[in-house]
Amino acid sequence: MVTLVVATTADPASVGPASAFLAMPGWNPGPAVATGMESFANRAVRLLKHQRSIVEEDYLDRRWEAATGEHVDEVIFLSRHTAVSNRPALTVHPIGVPHVREGEPLPQGGRPGWAGPPNPRIGPWLRLMKRIAQENGLIPEFEITLEATHHGPLVNTPTMFLEIGSTEEYWKRQDAAQAMALLLWEGLGVEGGPSVGNWGRENQGNKVLLGLGGGHYVP
């Protein structure tokens, strides 16, 4: 059972955090998955790099399992964030397009009426992201925010996106990339400590919050 972290070389806000994450100790070459894809392994974490848009490669969880025989517990995508305000931001969000009806265009992947299973780490990682950003001097310049579901790709596994926004200047910021890498490193417990937000049997009976409606950002 592994965590699959997905990055694309087509996006500086994706490959930047991936490179910073891979610069941390313990990585080894991972298994071959498909032409144009490269993978790396560190404990129970797998990092997969491809060359297409982050929302175009559907069912990477299934494809990883078929190619390697490893069961994927969760998928974490690294991506850029855009906003009309152009304000610098670090964001986390689940994925899906439940608001899109059959026959309507899908500019950012997914399937009409579909939402992917949300990763239960989202809430704890939003708080962890804020702490790491604070410790690394990114606040108040960067806003730390939770977004609503609004794009693909298709997956069957609990998933979340981690994004850097909101313009090319910030997508390439090394300090933001390093903060995202630290979020992955600490949040997944790669350094050997406990992971953050892992939902197991000890959480049975705890309340789950479901929000419906609203806009791009979650209050």
Domains, in order of start, for the chain = 2-193 (3.40.630.50)
Summarised one tens digit per residue, pLDDT across range 57-107 is 999 999 999 999 999 999 999 999 998 899 999 999 999 988 889 999 888
pLDDT, one tens digit per residue, over 156-190 is 999 999 999 999 999 999 999 999 999 999 999 99
Report the alpha-carbon distance of residue 177 to residue 10 in Å, rounded.
Answer: 15
Please tell me the predicted confidence (pLDDT) of residue 62.
97
> Which has more confidence, 77 or 210?
77
DSSP 71: P
Q: Is the pLDDT of residue 201 over 70?
A: no
- When pLDDT is averaged across residues 187-210 and rounded to a whole number, the result is 81
Q: How far apart (Å, rounded) are the C-alpha atoms in residues 188 and 182?
A: 10
pTM of the model: 0.94
Cis preceding linkage at 29, omega within 30:
no
Q: What is the mean pLDDT of residues 107-134?
A: 93
Got the DSSP string for 151-208? -----SS-EEEEEEEESHHHHT-HHHHHHHHHHHHHHTTTTSS--SS---GGGTT---
